[in-house]
A and B are shown apart, each in its own frame.
Chain A
């Protein structure tokens, strides 16, 4: 199959997946809509869907809204990082689902450094985020090393770690770090110089962390597609025995992919914390890790597509939130839409991989036939 047809096929499949998701969303909105007659409910659902799809960009009057747009961009920051993290881990065929706990731990460690460590100037910001990222990288050694050395499922271990991290952080908050003068469980405020400055001062909390995210996307792409280790990671995902027999250290690659994933997730947590909040007050897993998995699937595990996938997910999430405030539809609709898009995209991707194999196979057969013909004519 030539490249043009291939692209066309991919785009059509993507649009079909989204269309199905929107159809499911519409049915659910219809079920939750209110109205005396079916027609009324139908109109109400159409209005709600329009709200969901259009309001993240436009005002009620139909004018483009910078505020809404920057809200969506701000929403991409954490899921860009968890998406990148998941990309790298999934590319190596490591189904590590620890980005969820990772982003929470990263946020927490960064917050603690930003509160208690007196470092002057913007250096504090950088040190705090790096500490968060490193902490998660170290934690990810647990599922990574256990997988590489003992063959224990990284998936189960990373899931278990998510819970352990959440409870342990809550324990630390309750027992040591909470600002007891406040009614809710939160830390003392971060130092002034730890706050990541905002790109636009309009309350969207779109910090310069967004730019850091884009830089990380480019770095990750370069790492995955232009370096030896990135190649090793991708090859491990495609054909692990090949990597082993060609003399690369598979165990090290398996560990590296997960540690890098942990680093990115932790970094995302830190940047989200210092860019959006001025105290740490998370008491439950934030859900960014799961959205990150969707982002990675939509991006086909290629870092360069992560910002677009993250934007798409952030857009839909924002749309659902706005819809829930203006129409009587619970915002959790997003998790169903997300799951439906996700599952169809993943299905399509496998088919694409399968087709690729068929193409390779037929090419090989062609080559073999040519070689056989060549031998005969030599005789």
Chain B
């Protein structure tokens, strides 16, 4: 059986998109010295409010905007606790993830009860085809024999995600703000000594991450799964952290890592279609994460040793 069909490669990109968006959030965060492990929780919250707003306003676009706004607000709130109240950012992230898991189900029950007179535990019945984030066929490219079938016909968020990889590079390396983000990440004291407002830059850093994670959440509930349901993000926010460190913290490398996870998951889906217990297939991306982190660490160590050896000889 040939599994490497055009459909398969198409599904890799489809699956990798939310991971990629969250990964970019992690990349910007880590560059600015903000380890945001709450991406998972932010995605859950954005997914919920995005899908609800889309249903209320009958517009996927407003849903998308609200998802981004919710992501931004939640990230800024995290920033308030982490930077202002000096809570360990890992614990802030853990709290956000708790709310993302149990809190969202509370909210969806309460909100649907108040607005629709019935308490729902998911919004999968609310997001119809018309409210789905639209997908586009790219003219010209869609006519290329094999490639066209793989890279054309995705949701606009997918193309936005890949565009954002480039924008992230521009932001980090070509703008004054990017310079500030990186300098605050590397040495906040030095940055502050030349007049950079460390707090402001950190808020911007975590805010950008929140917006990106919000986009990822919107993709999950308004395109990938058509509606919000409990724990639907299923660790993608965490996998993004792994992709970030596998990619060496650079946008392009991390994008490739995100695609590797997309590949692992797509492969899993293919394999389970042949009748293998899905419980045996579902953990593949998580195992791939652990293995690839190890490989990356060993590589990094070897590189460091080489560099040390070289500098010792000079």
Q: B235 contacts A159, CB within 8 Å?
A: yes
Q: A350 contacts B103, CB within 8 Å?
A: no
Question: B-contacting residues of A (Cβ < 8 Å)?
Answer: 28, 31-32, 95, 97, 142, 146, 150-153, 155-157, 159-161, 163-164, 167-168, 170-171, 174-175, 287, 290, 293, 297, 328-330, 332-336, 338-340, 342-344, 346-347, 350-351, 354
Q: B103 contacts A159, CB within 8 Å?
A: no
Question: A-contacting residues of B (Cβ < 8 Å)?
Answer: 37, 81, 85-88, 90-92, 94-99, 101-103, 105-106, 109-110, 113-114, 119, 234-235, 238-239, 241-242, 245, 277, 279-280, 282-283, 286-287, 289-290, 293-294, 297-298, 301
Q: A332 contacts B277, CB within 8 Å?
A: no
Q: B286 contacts A163, CB within 8 Å?
A: yes
Q: A339 contacts B98, CB within 8 Å?
A: yes
Are A28 and B87 CB-contacts (below 8 A) given A146-B294, A342-B95? no
Q: A332 contacts B103, CB within 8 Å?
A: yes
Q: A150 contacts B301, CB within 8 Å?
A: yes
Q: B114 contacts A32, CB within 8 Å?
A: yes
Q: A333 contacts B293, CB within 8 Å?
A: no
CB distance from B197 to the nearest CB of A (A): 21
Checking B86, B286, B294, B297 against A351 with a beta-carbon cut-off of 8 angstroms, the contacting residue is B86
Checking B86, B90, B279, B282 against A155 with a beta-carbon cut-off of 8 angstroms, the contacting residue is B90
Q: B87 contacts A347, CB within 8 Å?
A: yes
Residues from chain B with Cβ under 8 Å of A342 in the complex: 91, 94-95, 98
Are A142 and B290 CB-contacts (below 8 A) given A32-B114, A159-B235? yes
Q: B86 contacts A164, CB within 8 Å?
A: no
Residues from chain B with Cβ under 8 Å of A175 in the complex: 277
Residues from chain A with Cβ under 8 Å of B106 in the complex: 28, 330, 332-333, 335-336
* B contact face: mostly helix, strand, loop, or mixed: helix
Q: B99 contacts A335, CB within 8 Å?
A: yes
CB distance from A321 to the nearest CB of B (A): 12
What are 8 pairs between A and B in contact, CB < 8 Å?
A: A28-B110, A32-B114, A163-B286, A330-B110, A339-B96, A340-B95, A351-B85, A351-B86
Checking A97, A164, A167, A335 against B101 with a beta-carbon cut-off of 8 angstroms, the contacting residue is A335
CB distance from A322 to the nearest CB of B (A): 16
Residues from chain B with Cβ under 8 Å of A170 in the complex: 279
Are A174 and B102 CB-contacts (below 8 A) given A95-B90, A150-B297, A156-B289? no
CB distance from B132 to the nearest CB of A (A): 27
Residues from chain A with Cβ under 8 Å of B283 in the complex: 163-164, 167-168
CB distance from B120 to the nearest CB of A (A): 11
Q: B294 contacts A152, CB within 8 Å?
A: yes
Q: B277 contacts A32, CB within 8 Å?
A: no
Residues from chain B with Cβ under 8 Å of A329 in the complex: 110
Q: B91 contacts A343, CB within 8 Å?
A: yes
Residues from chain A with Cβ under 8 Å of B298 in the complex: 150
Are A160 and B290 CB-contacts (below 8 A) given A170-B279, A171-B277, A350-B88? yes
